[in-house]
A and B are shown apart, each in its own frame.
Chain A
Amino acid sequence: GQQLNQSPQSMFIQEGEDVSMNCTSSSIFNTWLWYKQDPGEGPVLLIALYKAGELTSNGRLTAQFGITRKDSFLNISASIPSDVGIYFCAGQGGNTGKLIFGQGTTLQVKP
């Protein structure tokens, strides 16, 4: 079946630094989504990507849908303490509407 590999698994950075994380798929996806989850909460949608090559920003966040349709990255610029959390990529490859999730990237920001 389809699999997503998300990396890195965790990051510990200094406030103000930029962050980059990515996901790769074993097969083609037609939608890439990035979510952030705080402890004890449900995931919150950050960015949605629907076309290969699409580059979309949401404030300090930027994400791209890879041209091969098998990968996506998320960048966070000038990190702040409230960026702490777990970031998940998710993708859809067929028409079932079901999403496949990456393993998550845990981000910690040192003030």
Chain B
Amino acid sequence: GAVVSQHPSWVICKSGTSVKIECRSLDFQATTMFWYRQFPKQSLMLMATSNEGSKATYEQGVEKDKFLINHASLTLSTLTVTSAHPEDSSFYICSARVTLNRATQYFGPGTRLLVL
């Protein structure tokens, strides 16, 4: 149980284009999902908290117009990197919380983004 998937697993795009990453909870409903960014040899950095049916909450320093998050259903959250630039190249990982009473998060396999 508590399986989270991400799609695509990797993407290469040209500078200036937008890229959408999907995060799905496969066997449970997730009212809250999280989006992280990870640079090589570093820990996970929380970008935003995605709540179903409401606006995402962004961490300080994360541009909400740059990283659009939509959590339209209890099993799907999407992250769109708009007008991507090479500095947006990174490993993006989503996670989902199973219950409101527990902080435990289950992570997706990640999406590697390379912007040329």
Please report A residues at the B interface, Cβ cutoff 8 Å: 30-31, 33, 35, 40-45, 48, 50, 88, 90, 92, 96-99, 101-104
Contact B44 A103 (CB under 8 A): no
Interface string of B39-59 (1 = CB under 8 A from A): 000111010010000000000
Contact B102 A101 (CB under 8 A): no
Interface string of B76-98 (1 = CB under 8 A from A): 00000000000000010101010
Cβ of A21 to closest chain B Cβ, rounded Å: 14
Interface centre among B91, B103, B109 (most CB of A within 10 A): B103
**CB-CB nearest in chain A for B101:** A50
Please report B residues at the A interface, Cβ cutoff 8 Å: 2, 4, 6, 32, 34, 42-44, 46, 49, 91, 93, 95, 97, 100, 102-110, 112
Contact A99 B103 (CB under 8 A): yes
Contact B105 A99 (CB under 8 A): yes
Known: A45-B104, A90-B105. 7 other contacts (CB 8 A): A42-B95, A42-B107, A48-B102, A48-B104, A92-B103, A97-B49, A99-B105
Binding site secondary structure of chain B = strand
Cβ of A12 to closest chain B Cβ, rounded Å: 16
The one of A33, A41, A88 that contacts B104, using a Cβ cutoff of 8 Å = A33
Residues of B within 8 Å of A96, CB to CB, are 49
The contact sample of 19 A-B pairs, CB cut-off 8 A, is A31-B102, A31-B103, A33-B105, A40-B91, A40-B110, A42-B93, A42-B95, A42-B107, A42-B110, A43-B93, A48-B102, A88-B44, A92-B103, A97-B49, A97-B97, A97-B100, A98-B46, A99-B34, A102-B43
Contact B110 A33 (CB under 8 A): no
Cβ of B111 to closest chain A Cβ, rounded Å: 9
Contact B104 A42 (CB under 8 A): no
Q: How far is the CA of A72 from the CA of B41 in the complex (A)?
A: 22
Cβ of B68 to closest chain A Cβ, rounded Å: 20
**CB-CB nearest in chain A for B112:** A40
Interface centre among B32, B97, B105, B112 (most CB of A within 10 A): B105
